[in-house]
Amino acid sequence: EVKLVESGGGLVQPGRSLKLSCAASGFSFNDYWMGWVRQAPGKGLEWIGEINQDSSTINYTPSLKDKFTISRDNAQNTLYLQMSKLGSEDTAIYYCARETTYWGQGVMVTVSS
Amino acid sequence: DVVLTQTPVSLLISLGGQASISCRSSQSLVHSNGNTYLHWYLQKPGQSPQLLIYQVSNRFSGIPDRFSGSGSGTDFTLKISRVEPEDLGVYYCLQRTHNPPTFGGGTKLELK
């Protein structure tokens, strides 16, 4: 069974950084592109970016490129999202996804003083 | 960026009825390789989105044949026949033909 479990969310002050993790199991992690999507409270879905199997290609939504860094550790079957200079507009549920198919349950990030 | 416009924004349907959701794109979603990367998801209340249909008309594993997708170019439709209680939630289309990938604004399916 494909399983994606996000962690690392919580309350963070404006201007600070936060790193999310996504632990993958039930499939061969290093065979797939992986990505991040977010959803602000009561809003729609926003694609953040994705990373290929060997980390040689990372694509970001241009408007978010300066704020987020996606990485992965194939030995640990883990995907990461480093977020910097957070603002209230970054308050959202963050989902990791295996290509377009499977999604994790999401982790909440709240940016507030 | 490609803009996907979903209509209607909300849909009131009786159990057993049929629902139709439109997703219109600001540009053609036919990729240079000939494929069309338009997918449909359902987000049930309190859950993450689940893939229903990929590449316009292909049902994902375990998705009942009550769900069907159609369309081409810039105009796409998701049909749900014989609506059941577990079909309720917000439906999203996603295009992956052009970078960055973009989602439609969502259509909320509710019971009449």
Q: pLDDT tens string for chain A (113 positions)?
A: 999 999 999 999 999 999 999 999 999 999 999 999 999 999 999 999 999 999 999 999 999 999 999 999 999 999 999 999 999 999 999 999 999 899 999 999 999 99
Q: Across the interface, do A61 and B100 touch by the CB < 8 Å criterion?
A: yes
Interface touch B94/A45, C-beta < 8 Å: yes
Nearest to B103 among A44, A60, A106 (CB): A44
Dihedral angle of Cα A48, A53, A57, A63, to the nearest 10 degrees: 0
A86 three-class SS: coil
Decide: helix, strand or coil at residue B86: helix
Say how many CA atoms lie within 13 Å of B108 toward its Cβ. Answer: 9
